[in-house]
Amino acid sequence: MSLQRILLPALTTIIGAVPVASAQPGDEAIGACLPPVVSSPGTAEADEQPTESRIGESVMLAGDWVPKDPHQIDYSRLPRVNLKHAVISDVRDHAGTRVHQHAYLAHFDDRFWAMWSDGPGGPRTGVTAQQHRNLVPAHDLANTRNSYATSRDGLHWSKPSDLTGPPRKPGYGWIARGLWKREGDLLALSSHFNAPGYAGKGLSLEAFRWDGMKWVAHGTVLDDSMNNFPPKRLPTGEWMMTRRDHQRQVSVMIGGTRSFNDWRVSPIAAYDGNGRPEEPYWYTLPDGKTIVGLIRDNGRSRYLLRTFSRDNGQTWSPIHRTNFPDATSKFFVHRTSRGYYVMVSNSNPRRRDPLTLAISQNGLVYHKLIWLVGGRHVDYPHIIERGGSLLIAFSGAKQTMEVIKVSLDELEQVTMPASVELKKHLPPVTTSNQPPHWIDLGDEGKTIYVAGQLVVPETGQRSSFSLTTAVGEKRVTIGVDLKGRLYSALYKETVAGPTLTPGSSHKFLVRINSHTDTPDELTIQLGDADELPAEPDSWTLTNNKGSSAANLSRMTIDGAVGFSNISVGVTPDALIR
């Protein structure tokens, strides 16, 4: 039985019509809002098709002020609060060549601590340095490090310093993953990743320990892992944090009590052709038993997804879509010392602007939504509470590390206006800026074909074409090198083939088979200039070394002479431009 069948309901169940209600259920309504948890693999209940009653209520944002379509909120009409603001570090003057992102906070040893990813950026072409101050550069690149700073009051910060040092391997980087206070120590968590992006083999979650003077390597927390936020205590006393592996599968890590690297993994959901769960987070409801899992939807429904566990993260209910709008961005939920919940997120479904704070009494339904900071790109927040105030860290255009401080008293005085609906509705949110992907190299058994024309360049010239992700990351490349050799690169694994005759013309056929647990397979067959070759028993070139685990949806061609008239399709006979 597949993981997808157990943990993901049918797509129509996940993204069906979302009911909206103005009722405001209290804590007594929690049980009525929760779907039953799916049983463990192998039980009869796991094979049952979920019904609407089993899925549970999907309302997460409610109130008379909420528009019938939550995507039609006028964010300029949201209430605002008095707050204090400080910048920890700012690299906007580097014209997109530096990046700050992944903000995390902690309070330890009478100081506030902040850590973040600090690395090279990829500036956009045709953009001035001034324009780049509010434009996100390419990020998650090789040689990214983590930095940190400290503060006595949360507003006046020390000069940033290096935390991780350089990556341990060429082509790798460090992604900041949070600060963990464990048994009197402060541990900084960071994922060592094979750049660009975290997907791909070589991922590991590492810890650094503050020894009173400096950060020292503490060891591997769990291989093939990237958490989303640092661990929190379960009702059982064990630690738990959400996790993704190099294939972007979503799970939880449970343990951490006997040692910092003692964990067991329980899956939440599959990242596959039917679902795109990303950057999960969890918290416990007031009953002390029920755990909520909130998930960003990379399928771009522009709503948050939700699931529940009643056995301390061992099993989870089917994921369903809520009516809480989201820009497809990272978020964080904190239960305050006064009992209510606050969630900071990019709730504008059209852009990561502004950051908002939602308030809920029961952790299920949020009844207030407050503007925090905006008028520019702001994202990836984190919250801690200290002395009756929230300290919220975030990044500006992935080039600043900033904090705002707001008192709980201030939040509790907020009242919502009668309406925050846009007077003139905007068009429905679409995903036209994200093209449908041809294939996810990570889905087991999926196949696509590529065909085109090749005129072999002269010796000393090169030509290539690449299949890329929606943001332009090259994952598959086929080309002719300076020596005239045909080659294929399947995400960092390159295989060279025969040397071709300069000026010769060929039609070619490429087949890509994707796999989940083994390397993908890329094969190339060259034919004559006039006829597309059929699939042979023995291919001109085979690459079965790389494993990409990425959605391929775009194509780039490099070289004035070489590859042309390229098309992509699911079969050789049904190739489409």
Return d(Cα 398, Cα 385) in angstroms, integer: 24
| pLDDT confidence of residue 440 | 63
Quick check: 480 and 486 in contact, CB under 8 A? yes
End-to-end, the C-alpha distance of the chain in Å comes to 36
Q: Which of 155-164, 236-245, 558-567 has the highest mean pLDDT?
A: 155-164
Q: Are strands 563-569 and 575-576 parallel, antiparallel or unpaired?
A: antiparallel
| pLDDT confidence of residue 124 | 82
b/e per residue 35-58 (b: at least 16 CB within 10 A): bbbbeeeeeeeeeeebeeebbbbb
Q: Are strands 232-233 and 239-244 parallel, antiparallel or unpaired?
A: antiparallel
Of 31-45, 345-359, 526-540, the poorest mean pLDDT is in 31-45
358 or 137, which is more confident: 358
Q: Return the CATH fold of 3-139+149-162+274-412.
A: Neuraminidase (2.120.10)
**Confidence band for 516, pLDDT divided at 50, 70 and 90:** confident
Quick check: 522 and 547 in contact, CB under 8 A? no
Global pTM?
0.70
Whether residue 96 is predicted with pLDDT greater than 80 in this model: the reply is yes
196 or 100, which is more confident: 100
- In the chain, list all ranges with CATH 2.60.120.200: 439-576
Architecture of domain 439-576: Sandwich (2.60)
Of 133-142, 169-178, 349-358, the poorest mean pLDDT is in 133-142
565 burial type by CB count under 10 A (0-12 exposed, 13-18 middle, 19+ buried): exposed
DSSP three-state, residue 362? coil
Quick check: 415 and 482 in contact, CB under 8 A? no
Return d(Cα 257, Cα 182) in angstroms, integer: 9
Whether residue 33 is predicted with pLDDT greater than 90 in this model: the reply is no
Q: Are strands 355-360 and 185-194 parallel, antiparallel or unpaired?
A: unpaired
| pLDDT confidence of residue 274 | 44
Return d(Cα 265, Cα 251) in angstroms, integer: 7
What are the φ/ψ torsions at residue 518 (nearest 5 degrees)?
-130, 165
Question: Side chain identity at 22, as an amino acid letter?
Answer: S
Structure tokens at 224: 């093939």
Residues 82-90: what's their mean pLDDT? 98
Give the single-character DSSP code of 426.
Answer: P
Of 54-68, 173-187, 252-266, 315-329, the poorest mean pLDDT is in 54-68
| pLDDT confidence of residue 211 | 97
379 or 14, which is more confident: 379
| pLDDT confidence of residue 18 | 33
- In the chain, list all ranges with CATH 2.120.10: 3-139+149-162+274-412
- pLDDT tens readout for residues 443-457: 677 788 898 889 999
Whether residue 480 is predicted with pLDDT greater than 70 in this model: the reply is yes
